[in-house]
Amino acid sequence: MSEYGDSSERGAKRGLISMDNERRPARPYRCGRHGQFLGAAPASAKARRERLLRQANPQIASWASFVEKFEKFTHILCSAAQYGANPALELEYDGLRTWLLAHYYDHAATIRSRMGDDIFEPHAAGDDAAVRMDRFEAIFLPRTIQELLAHDDGTLISLISQISHAVYSVEPVA
């Protein structure tokens, strides 16, 4: 017997210590009914797909969400142009306008390159002041649909069509 005790006794102590450590996995992991390690908590299939898509190519996910918001926005504008503005459309317009203010300029250069030569035109913007903006900005910079419709000279639908053509002509990076 050595000064450290019997070798079988040391082994038993080490075994108990390692068993205790195996019973206490790190917090982000799940434990089974009897303390066995089950691995990380599973993510939903949709969350995994979105994460992988962002890791693979962040521009694709960003462009896809931009196009989705753009479609909702243009649907609201077309409804307002045809039937007039109402409080529900104004509320939706405000939310999507806020989103576009935050995200349009990430994609502005790409969209503007598809709009043609005369993308910047003077547009009336509140208080009858002429402001130079691109065609896309002309539909989301007004604060309300009422303001947008008040300055419409009958070309809103064709303007939306031109912008849609530019947006849909962009091919996402593969």
Note the pLDDT tens digit of each residue in 89-114: 999 999 999 999 999 988 988 898 89
- On whether the pTM is more than 0.85, the answer is no
Domain contains 92: yes
Domain that holds residue 31: 7-40
DSSP 5: B
The region that residue 111 occupies, defined by phi over 0 for left and psi between -120 and 50 for alpha, beta otherwise, is alpha
* Same structural domain, 109 and 23: no
* Same structural domain, 32 and 64: no
Q: Are 77 and 145 in contact (CB under 8 A)?
A: yes
SS3 2: strand
* Beta strand ranges found along the chain (DSSP E): 29-31, 37-40, 120-124, 130-134
Give the per-residue pLDDT at 155: 87
* Same structural domain, 49 and 36: no
* Same structural domain, 96 and 135: yes
